[in-house]
Amino acid sequence: MQVAVISGKGGTGKSSITAALASLSQNIVLVDCDVDASNLYLLFNSTHEEEYAFVGGEKAVIDYNRCTHCGLCMVYCRFDAIVTENGKIKIKEVFCDGCHLCSRICPEKAIAMIEEKNSKYFAGSFRHGKMVYGRLAPGEENTGLLVNKVREKAKQIAKFQRIETILLDGPPGIGCPVMSTITGVDKLLLVTEPSLSGIHDMERMLAVAKHFNIETKIIINKYDLHTELSEQIEQKAKAWDATVIAKIPYEPLFVKAMIQQQSIVEFAPDSPSARIIASIYDTVLLH
Amino acid sequence: MNKNVKIAVAGGKGGTGKTLVATNLFYVIKEEGKEVELIDCDAEEPNAGLFFNGNLIYHSDVMLKVPEINTSLCVYCGKCKEYCNYNAILMIGFSKYIKVIEELCHGCGACSIACDYSAITKKNRKIGEVNQYQVQDKALLTEARMQVGVYSPVNTVKTALKQNPHPYVQIIDAPPGTSCPFIHSVVHADYVVLVTEPTPFGLSDLKQSIETLKGMKKFYGVVINRVDEPNQEMMQYLQKENIKVLAQIPFDRDIATVYAQGGLIAQHLSAYKKVFTGLLDLIIQEICK
């Protein structure tokens, strides 16, 4: 079974709750799909057993021995990535989308495409099972392809080690990396918070989930910060055919646990929040 | 302050308080009666608009030019499919079947250049919108809002940033992470305010943001949010790297409560107004250095 934890908005407590769920298991494959800011390996201090390079996109590079600065590439580029500076053609690497068009149309064959190989993904072990995570190189486009690679690796490990549950910690937002995280999972856990931002972002995330037709359960974190807004979340959830399965209070222990490199279940197993998470584990991951 | 100053508010990790800092900075500048514009570049989940009541004064749809294939002219040669680097053209030659998968198309135009039979024309697909609100006489809020189901917010972010080449102080609320959408949001900024939290997660993502900004040769400083007890490791790192701590915001339940309701702490919690006026002064000092 694959369960993904997502949130839309960043900082709702998604990773802390994922970590707590993972530490309730004896043997799980934990996957950090937030390849743009992966953090779970830090919390669990996971071992480093396998490392792979990931070829993300490509970038255009000009061979100035051939370039005649005719400007044709600039005319065709739809990404504003080619400019002239003092009559010289230049590629602004940050803007290049890697579409190859300039290199195809250049009459002098002066543009080559260079692969970007700075992103990586890793697999290892931690105290509750196996861990897989990715690290996207800064500035690269997060197309979701690295998320796919990380998930493939996780599936392979689960099959080989005969581990039944794969738990995925998703990235914030609703774009491609999120869609890659939730494609084909069995259940979604959406962590939200009672703030106007949290509700707004939850609804956009629920629209994506509906499109994928995946069963979605909602966790309201810090629910007691604003009980009226928490009620609003429950009503809005119903309208999207999603159910609120748990409400976790505002709990500074989450941060204290993280600083000790532990999940809240490990750090304060008897705290109300840890108990609520244990019941989420029972209803979502054991059934 | 000079006009045309662009200040980006970023921070690798999601939920560190970027929008909190951006909206409150905007508020204190606005209250001083200065011309200011807040641009919300977190197009996947734009939230800044929830904190202000403004009148919509401008709206535009962000369109992507995607191909349309005229099957009466198409000879199913497959050249467009070969030119497409995003697997957005599906073709089965012997069945004379060809289809554009619009969700995968980046709008590069390579397919229409490839086609020797003039079978490919362009059509517009809506991928986002840019909304601009008048919040106060001299204060504007511009929002980049990606359509649900679109692969990337970058085009919408670029359009929102291009929208306003006018002489305002601009506060740019950047998206999380250090990939493309972040880069596009900070690339034109004069100064970047990195908002972090004193936790191992915060520090790890902060380091990644700083490495990225160094590569871009940007000027930047750090705001530490939700400070309960200081994180020694973070302070040591910042000291070693000679990075300025612009402000520290305490771990305070009242902040979370005000923020939850779409309120501004610089307005509702008098103690915090000073934090943001002080932050603004420091940023200006840093920019003028």
Of the candidates A80, A94, A138, the beta carbon closest to that of B208 is on A138
Which pair of structure tokens corresponds to residue A275?
């108990």
| Interchain contact B101–A (C-beta under 8 A) | no
Q: Are B44 and B175 in contact (CB under 8 A)?
A: yes
CB within 8 Å of B50: residues ≥ 6 apart: A196, A197, A200, B262
Confidence of residue B230 (pLDDT cuts 50, 70, 90): confident
Q: Write down the pLDDT at residue B184.
A: 93
Q: Which amino acid does the sequence have at B268? A: H
A201 reaches B (C-beta below 8 A): yes
Choose the closest CB to A176 out of B114, B151, B257.
B151
Is the CB of residue B104 less than 8 Å from the CB of residue A145?
A: no
With an 8 Å Cβ cutoff, is A259 touching chain B?
yes
Cβ within 8 Å, pair B13-A39: yes
Give residue A16's pLDDT. 96
Shortest CB distance from B178 goes to which of A36, A58, A208?
A36
ipTM: 0.90
Task: Kindly state the tokens that stand for B234.
Answer: 């973070």
Q: By C-alpha distance, which of B279, B289, B273, B277 is closest to B195? A: B279
Residue B289 pLDDT more than 90? no
What's the pLDDT tens digit per position in A238-269?
A: 999 999 999 999 999 998 999 899 999 999 99
Q: What is the pLDDT of residue A287?
A: 73
pLDDT-derived band at A140, boundaries 50, 70, 90: confident
| pLDDT value for A94 | 84
* SS3 call for A12: coil
For the ranges A52-61, A274-283, B180-189, the maximum mean pLDDT occurs at A274-283
Tokens of B168: 């305002």
pLDDT at B257: 93
B236/A117: higher pLDDT: B236
Q: Who contacts B177 (Cβ-Cβ below 8 Å, separation ≥6)?
A: A36, A37, A136, A142, A171, B12, B14
CB < 8 Å to B260, chain A: 193-196, 198, 225-226, 229
Q: Is there a contact between B108 and A78 if contact means CB atoms under 8 Å apart?
A: yes
CB B39 within 8 A of CB A3: no
Contacts of B23 (CB under 8 A, 6+ apart): B38, B48, B51, B52, B173, B264
Give CA–CA dist B69/B1, Å, rounded: 53
pLDDT at A157 over 90: yes
For residue A279, give every residue at least 6 positions away whose Cβ sits within 8 Å of its Cβ, in sequence order, or none: A246
Interval B92-108 mean pLDDT: 94
Give how far B84 is from chain A: nearest CA, Å.
7
Query: Which of A176-180, B187-191, B225-229, B238-242 is predicted least confidently?
Result: B225-229
Closest Cα in chain B, distance from residue A202 (Å):
9
Distance CA A212, CA B188 (A): 36
pTM above 0.80, yes or no: yes
Question: What does the mean pLDDT of chain A come to?
Answer: 95
Tokens of A59: 């970038």
Q: What is the assigned CATH class of domain A2-55+119-285?
A: alpha beta
CB contact under 8 A, A10 and B13: yes
Counting Cα atoms < 13 Å in the Cβ hemisphere of B107 gives: 20
Per-residue pLDDT, B166? 65
List the structure tokens of B226: 């939700």
Q: At what angle do helices B200-215 and B232-240 cross, to 10 degrees?
A: 20
Q: In whole angstroms, what is the distance from residue B212 CA to residue A173 CA? A: 21
Structurally, at CATH architecture level, domain A58-115 sits in 2-Layer Sandwich (3.30)
In angstroms, the CA A15 to CA A257 distance is 12
Fold of the domain built from segment(s) B71-118: Alpha-Beta Plaits (3.30.70)
Ranking A214-223, B121-130, B160-169 by mean pLDDT, the lowest is B160-169
The token duo for B257 is 């409560």
What's the pLDDT score for residue A119? 94
Stretch B187-207: mean pLDDT = 94
- Provide the terminal-to-terminal Cα distance of chain B, rounded to the nearest Å: 13
Give the pLDDT of residue B151.
87
Domain boundaries, chain B: 6-62+127-288, 71-118
Domain ranges in chain A are 2-55+119-285, 58-115
Closest CA to B197 of B10, B13, B21: B13
Residue A141 is predicted with a pLDDT of: 83
- Taking the Cβ of residue A200 and every Cβ of chain B, the question of whether any pair is shorter than 8 Å is answered with yes
* Cα–Cα distance measured from residue B108 to residue B63, given in angstroms and rounded to the nearest whole number: 13
List the single best residue of B13, B18, B21, B45 to mutate versus A (max A Cβ within 10 A).
B45
Tell me if chain A has a CB within 8 Å of the CB of B185: no
Cβ neighbours around B62 below 10 Å, total: 24
pLDDT for position B164: 72
Domains B6-62+127-288 and B71-118 share a fold: no
pLDDT of residue A124: 98
pLDDT mean across residues, chain B: 94
Q: Which residues contact B260 (CB under 8 A, 6 or more apart)?
A: A193, A194, A195, A196, A198, A225, A226, A229
Interface of A with B in 132-191 (CB under 8 A): 136, 138-144, 171-176, 179
| Residue B228 neighbours by CB distance under 10 Å | 15
CB-CB contact of A126 with A45 (8 Å):
yes
In contact, A186 and A1? CB cutoff 8 Å = yes
Helix (H, G, I), strand (E, B) or coil at A191: strand
Residue in chain A nearest B204 by alpha carbon = A39
pLDDT band at B3 (very low <50, low <70, confident <90, very high): low
Q: Of A193, A196, A210, which to mutate for an interface test with B (greatest number of B Cβ within 10 Å)?
A: A196
CA distances from A271 to A11, A24, A251, A265, A277 (A): 21, 14, 9, 8, 10
CATH of domain B6-62+127-288: 3.40.50.300
Check CB contact under 8 Å for B113 and A76: yes
User: What is the dihedral angle through the alpha carbons of A79, A84, A85, A86, rounded to the nearest 10 degrees?
Assistant: -170
pLDDT exceeds cutoff 80 at B168: no
Confidence label for B2 from pLDDT (cuts 50, 70 and 90): low
